[in-house]
Homo-oligomer: A and B are copies of this chain.
Amino acid sequence: MTEFRSVAAATGEPQGEPFAVHGPADVAAACAAAEAAFDTYRATSREDRAAFLERIADEIMAIGDSLIDAYLSESGLPRMRAEGERGRTCGQLRMFADVVRKGQWQQLRIDPALPERQPLPRPDLRLRMIPVGPVAVFGASNFPLAFSTAGGDTASALAAGCPVVVKGHPAHPITGSLIAQAISTAVAACGLPEGVFQHLVGPSNDLGAALVQDPRIMAVGFTGSRAGGLALARLAQAREVPIPVYAEMSSINPVLLLPEALKARGEALGAAFVGSLTMGAGQFCTNPGLVLAIEGEGLDAFVAAATGAVSEAKPQTMLTTGIAAAYAKGVEALSGTAGVETLAKGEEGNRTCGGAILFQTTAAKFLADKAIGDEVFGSASVIVRCKDEAELKAVLEGLEGQLTATLHMDEADEAAASRLLPVLERKVGRILANGWPTGVEVCHAMVHGGPFPATSDPRTTSVGSMAIDRFLRPVSYQNLAQPVLPPELRDDAYGDGAPRLIDGTLTLS
């Protein structure tokens, strides 16, 4: 295949002009250009790099309505979401600009020489973080802007000083190409080498495999399926020089309804839950696919309200016909699982749409059949009825790693929440109270990550400013003369606004 076309989510039919399919030669050329651009790009000043990130945001806004139109037709998502996601995408670029300017990411450390120390003098040692090299970013289908071509992975890698080669998601080539053009315009406007950003597209997995295997790529950012993330991680491990893959994969995001909250507002929680479950056709990494609660009147009220809301839910256009088919298959498997009861179904989906569905099972059954906990990407969720807190805790302990866990709780539930917290901390990256896991704030204290298989690397996050750390590594400089030291480690750089750990004591510049 040498060409492919965009597909309208609502109809499943091709639309627009064909795109050339990129192949191995394009991957090699892109990686060579990224490698060639690396030393120039990483030597940019904090101010220049920040201005570049802001320029990308400006260029994205300058695309105007054609970007929103492409987003809408390619994703099937609503306009408010498209505009919100564009705002989030530009906002995170600006946040990283701010992070780059402040300079804490450099983790500067200086241990001055101690020439008189006995029995041996201490040399002068200085440390900074440097970018790892060219980074491959895989666009995600479910966030055509915020987790795709100019999404969080791209923004954090560029902020770290890494050239980026994006493998655009084939579900939104028009959106991706518009964004790629905006970034390339910013690259040129800022006088940077072209290789700082490149965009490859194509419908086959071979393109991504070739990218991960290219020896010039030094790290990978990915958001997508478990199978896809694990395949990339295997390729990355099998390289002559293995590289890290930051894959954000699968999560069913347990929601815990603690007894007092459930007693006080079971019905309201049930309705709100379905709102989170069906938002965006349930196509969020943080979609609440599992509800855990202890038997009682409150749970009955929750179930009744949730059942009612799901029954009234309309089918929604899914991102691709492939995702709609996978969703239907997952729903079918759960529907046919012994011990899993179908509580409610919304209006039936079709080739392009998914309908909501709600299941119920017991803790004993859930513990006995791990497959009930497999992610079904879409508006499907399972309520697990537990006899008591001990059983609820056992279900939690048996879960795989997750992105989030949610506690619905009142003041009288605080003791129970404190007992559960140590278990939750080991299972998830983010613990939230009295809200819903969908809706991930882009800020400094966000962790969008978590133990395997939620991600391939729980030491990091893919959303929020801490994401920059994924693309950095430390280098130590011992007794280097001032003119040879990197500028930020020279004595005359003190006062440049970046914090420094001097002899173990953190000092603000």
Q: Which A residues fall within an 8 A CB radius of B?
A: 39, 84, 95, 98-99, 102, 104, 107, 109-111, 119-120, 122-123, 125-127, 130, 132-133, 237, 241-242, 244, 401, 407, 409, 411, 414, 417-418, 421-422, 425-426, 428-435, 439, 441, 443-447, 449, 451-453, 456-461, 465-466, 472-481, 483-484, 486, 499, 501, 503-506, 508
Contact = CB atoms under 8 A, between A and B. Distances in A.
Contacts of A475: 425, 428-431, 447
Contacts of A102: 504-506
5 contacts: A84-B119, A127-B446, A407-B480, A430-B475, A432-B480
A83 to B, nearest CB: 10
Contacts of A411: 481
A472 B4 CA distance: 44
A118 to B, nearest CB: 11
A484 B444 contact: no
Given A421-B484, A426-B133, A446-B125, A441 B111 contact: yes
A42 B444 CA distance: 24
A135 to B, nearest CB: 13
Contacts of A465: 504
A241 B453 CA distance: 8
Given A120-B439, A127-B447, 12 more contacts: A102-B504, A111-B446, A122-B443, A125-B441, A125-B445, A431-B480, A432-B480, A434-B479, A435-B479, A444-B501, A446-B476, A447-B476
A55 B125 CA distance: 28
A98 B476 contact: no
A452 B426 CA distance: 29
Contacts of A444: 109, 111, 125, 127, 501, 503-504
Contacts of A504: 95, 98-99, 102, 443-444, 465
A433 B480 contact: yes
| Residue of A102, A421, A477, A484 with highest tally of chain B CB at under 10 A | A484
A428 B457 CA distance: 23
A110 B464 CA distance: 12
A263 B244 CA distance: 43
Contact of A445 (B110, B242, B430): B110
B431 A478 contact: yes
A368 to B, nearest CB: 18
A478 B123 contact: no
A429 B474 contact: yes
Contacts of A478: 430-433, 435, 441
A351 to B, nearest CB: 33
B104 A481 contact: no
A451 B241 contact: yes
A508 to B, nearest CB: 6
A123 B418 CA distance: 20
A401 B473 CA distance: 13
| Residue of A95, A244, A456 with highest tally of chain B CB at under 10 A | A244
B447 A414 contact: no
Contacts of A452: 241-242
B481 A401 contact: no
Contacts of A110: 445
Contacts of A237: 237
Given A459-B472, A472-B459, A104 B506 contact: yes
The 8 closest A-B pairs by CB, nearest first: A432-B478, A447-B476, A125-B445, A127-B445, A109-B445, A430-B476, A111-B443, A111-B445
A445 B506 contact: no
Nearest to A478: B432
Nearest to A480: B433
Contacts of A477: 430-432
Nearest to A503: B444
Nearest to A420: B484
Contacts of A111: 441, 443-446
